[in-house]
Amino acid sequence: MGTPTSPPVQVAVRQDALVAAVVAALMLLGSAVTVADDLWAAPPRMAGPLVPSAVVAALLLAESLPLALRRVAPLPVLAVCVAASLGLQAMSEPTPLPLGVLVAVCTVAMRLRPLVSVWVVAAYLGLLAAGIATGAAPLSDDLFYEYLVSVIATVMLGYGIALGRARARIAERRAAETARLQEERTRAAVEQEQSRIAREVHDIVAHDVSVIVAQAAAARRLLPGDSAPAHTLHSIETVGRDALDGLRRLVHLLRSEIGDEPRAPQPTLDGLPFLLAQLRVAGLPVELEVRGEARRLPGTVETNAYRIVQEALTNALKHAGPARAVVVLDYRPDELHVEVRDDGRGATAAAAAPGRPALGGFGLVSMQQRAALLDGSVHVGPEESGGFRVSARFPVGQG
C-alpha cells in the first residue's frame, strides 16, 4: 500500500489539475474561434468544421495538460509545453498567447533560482527568433512582440510571488523567534522574582521567626518545667521550629540561580541599632563598633551590608550558644568593611560541617550573592581563639 498523501499536497495536486484543465479549455476555445474567423473570411465552398484538426488539438492538449505536474517537475513540464507551442507555430497555427508556456514559465520563476529562469526564458526566446529567421515559425513582428512582453511579464510575476512568499516565511520565522525570546524572558523574570522572594523570605521572615523561637526558649528555661506558661512557651518554640522547616522547604522551591538583584532594597545601616536591640532581648549580647567617619552610602551597599549582619547574628543566636557578639562597621575612603564576631561554640560546629549556616546553607549563598552584586567579597570561618567570624568588604568609591 502506498503512503497516504498529506492534505496540503492533495490540495496542491487538485489546484494544478484545475489549472491544467482551465488552460486546455481556453486554448481549445481560442483555436476554435480562430478557425471560425478563418472560415468566415473564406469562400462558402471552402467552409469546413468549426473545430481544430486532430493534430492541432493534440498539440494544444500537450501544451496544457502537463501543467498538472508543474510543481513536481517544473523544467520538464516547461520543455513539453515549449515543444508543443513550437509545433503549433510550425503548422502555421500560432495562438495569440502561449498560455501553457506562460504558466510553466511562471512556475519555474516561482520555484527555481533566478539564474535558471533567465537561461530558460532566453532559450525559449532564442528558439522563437531562430524559427522566425528560418521561416519554421511564421510569426509576425507584432505577434513576436506580444510573446516577448508576455513572457517577460510572466517571469516578473513569478519573481514577485516568490519574493512575497519568502518575505512571509521570514516574517513567520521572526515572529516565532520573537515569541520564543519573549517566553525565555518571561521565564527568566519569573525565576528572578522567585529567587528574590526566596532571599527576602530567608533574610526577613526566617530571622524574625528565629528570634521568636530563641525568646520563647530563653523564657521557658526561666520558668518551672511543669507550669502552664512553660508549656505555652514550649508550644510557641515548637511551632516556630516547624515554621522554620516550612520556610526551608519554601526556599528550596523558590530558589533559582545566583545572579538576581532585589528590586527595592529597604533596610539600611540606620536600622542596625533596632536589630541589635531585638537580638539582645532574644538572649544574644551584641555591641556595635563604628570605625572611621560614618557617612551615607549607596542604598544597595547599605541594604546588603545590613542583610549580611542580620544573617550572621541570626546564625550566632542559633548556633553559638551562650556567647557575646560584636558588629564592626569600618568606613574607609573607598570601602566599607563589615565584621561580625562571636565567642561562642559555633566554631566547633563549623569545623565539623563548614559552610552550613541556617536554612540548609542558603544563608552563606545569600551572603555571597549580596557581596558579588557589588563586586565585594565575604569570608566566613572560625576564629583561632574560638568563636566565629563573618567578614565582608564592599567597594564604595570616594565619598
- Given a cut of 60, whether residue 396 has pLDDT beyond it is yes
Of the candidates 207, 78, 224, which has an alpha carbon nearest to the alpha carbon of residue 151?
Answer: 78
**In which residue are the cell numbers 546553607 written?**
361
Predicted local distance difference test score (pLDDT) of residue 94: 58
- Quick: pLDDT tens for 41-53: 444 444 444 445 7
Lowest mean pLDDT among 126-130, 190-194, 233-237, 339-343: 190-194
Q: What is the mean pLDDT of residues 129-138?
A: 76
* Greater pLDDT, 275 or 193: 275
- Given a cut of 80, whether residue 279 has pLDDT beyond it is yes
**β-pairing verdict for 388-395 and 335-342:** antiparallel
Q: Which of 87-101, 171-185, 346-360 has the highest mean pLDDT?
A: 171-185
> What residue ranges do the domains of the chain occupy?
7-139, 190-395
The model's pTM is: 0.44
User: What is the topology classification, in CATH, of domain 190-395?
Assistant: Heat Shock Protein 90 (3.30.565)
Predicted local distance difference test score (pLDDT) of residue 9: 65
- How much is the CA Rg of the chain, to the nearest whole Å? 45
Q: What is the mean pLDDT of residues 185-211?
A: 72
Q: What is the mean pLDDT of residues 196-222?
A: 73
* Greater pLDDT, 384 or 296: 296
CA–CA distance, 217 with 219 (Å, rounded to integer): 5
Of the candidates 69, 33, 75, 70, which has an alpha carbon nearest to the alpha carbon of residue 51?
Answer: 33
Strand partners, 38: none
* Greater pLDDT, 198 or 17: 17
Predicted local distance difference test score (pLDDT) of residue 266: 62
Predicted local distance difference test score (pLDDT) of residue 326: 93
Lowest mean pLDDT among 179-193, 199-213, 377-391: 199-213
With cut-offs at 50, 70 and 90, classify the pLDDT of residue 152: confident
* Greater pLDDT, 354 or 18: 18
Cβ-contact 345, 321 below 8 angstroms: yes
CA–CA distance, 345 with 355 (Å, rounded to integer): 15
Of the candidates 307, 322, 296, which has an alpha carbon nearest to the alpha carbon of residue 392?
Answer: 307
